Structure 1
Amino acid sequence: MREALAPPTAEDPGPPDAVLVRLAARDERAFEVLVRRHAGTVHRLAATMVGPGAADDVVQEVFISVHRGLKDFRGEATFSTWLHRVTLNACYGALRGKGHPTVSMHDAPEPLAPHDPARTGEQAELRDQLAQALQALPREQREAVSLRELAGLDYAEISRITGAELGTVKSRINRGRAALRAWLTRAGIEP
């Protein structure tokens, strides 16, 4: 079984989540593979919902909760669906603890490219404005847009995570995108 838990590579991504979930209840290496596989997605979603400054704490809380809950995970949904729901719950818990939710993407890393101070400033300003626009959305729209655009989930999976009907998910995403476009246009940004 040691081979099955070798670090994933581009050629061999390792065992599927369902196998790792079964093993992770009694094998820390399997849990570590799950964490490495999903930490980036969880962090991106958390950073959008609570801001980059609080995202690390949320990610830690998510994986502590997942580790504790694996023994009770029944597999009625895919692991990634369950993980996204745990992430959203942790985000809402963090937002309740902060009082007033604010999101700032100012601390998000820049893409690797030659340093151009003017462009760096423009990108930071754009991230801040996009964060403000996302924060202005109603919770359900922000959740649906974040799961679609940042986590890359399809409509059906978003429906399973949120418990909303498929048509409702599509409507929330469309309304959220339109509201973001309008907000950014009012801010003088061409979406």
Structure 2
Amino acid sequence: MRSGDLDAYAELVTRHAPMAVRTATLLGAGTDAEDVVQEAFVKAYRSLGRFRDGAELRPWLLRIVANETRNHHRASVRRGARERAVALPAELLDPGEAVADHEAKERLLAAVAGLPDRLRVVVTCRYLLELDEAETATTLGLPRGTVKSRLSRGLARLRAELVEAGREADHV
């Protein structure tokens, strides 16, 4: 791949594109996730010479996707067109599940979307994208301890918000 073999790079794209699109979507690219991923793959191809031997490819690639998503998000804010809704990949929603379960998922995802960005991206990577702590740290370019502390604060906020929402639902 580093020597410019386009077939090898095409295989890399085929293998990692679904996870990259999910990452971009859940980190805030919304409906522009595929465009963000395409730009990220172009940047990754141009940066192959700087990829460290022995490093894990997936976290390196997802970090580029996360950075490109962040850049896209900032550009959208500057243009005043920031999307508020998070597009959910179809595989997160099982149409055969009960309505109550679907509503619970929607409440949870809305609560995650309501977290401050610094907490939301860590919770998203760790639980929605199912990355481990090391992969989350690499993907977001954060120290592992920062991932742990933000994850703890994010989960505490989610727990409190969902408990409060449950109390409100009981009073309706």
TM norm structure 1: 0.69
Name the counterpart of 1:57.
35
Structure 1 unaligned blocks of 5 or more: 1-22
**CA distances 1:46-66 after superposition (whole Å, capped 9, x unpaired):** 111225412122111111211
> Displacement of 1:158 after TM fit?
2.4
Letter in 2 for 1:42: A
Distance change (3 Å), C-alpha of 1:75 and 1:186: farther
Letter in 1 for 2:20: V
Name the counterpart of 1:137.
115
TM norm structure 2: 0.76
| Match of residue 124, structure 2, among 143, 146, 155 | 146
2-structure distance, mates of 1:172, 1:154: 14
| Match of residue 85, structure 2, among 99, 103, 124 | 103
**CA distances 1:125-166 after superposition (whole Å, capped 9, x unpaired):** 555544432232222222211221133222123233434333
2-structure distance, mates of 1:92, 1:145: 16
| Match of residue 12, structure 2, among 4, 9, 34 | 34
1-structure distance, mates of 2:165, 2:137: 31
**Paired residue total:** 163
Answering whether residue 144 of structure 2 is matched by residue 166 of structure 1, we say yes
CA contact (8 A) 2:137 2:144 kept: yes
* Higher fraction of helix: 2
1-structure distance, mates of 2:16, 2:145: 27
Task: Give identity over the alignment, percent.
Answer: 35
CA contact (8 A) 1:155 1:166 kept: yes
Q: Supply the RMSD in Å over aligned alpha carbons.
A: 2.9
Structure 2 unaligned blocks of 5 or more: none
Name the counterpart of 1:46.
24
Letter in 2 for 1:109: A
Which structure's relative contact order is higher, taking Cα pairs within 8 Å and 6+ residues apart?
2
| Match of residue 155, structure 1, among 116, 127, 133 | 133
Distance change (3 Å), C-alpha of 1:142 and 1:75: farther
Distance change (3 Å), C-alpha of 1:166 and 1:74: closer
The secondary structure found in structure 2 opposite 1:187 is helix
Distance change (3 Å), C-alpha of 1:67 and 1:156: same
1-structure distance, mates of 2:43, 2:54: 18
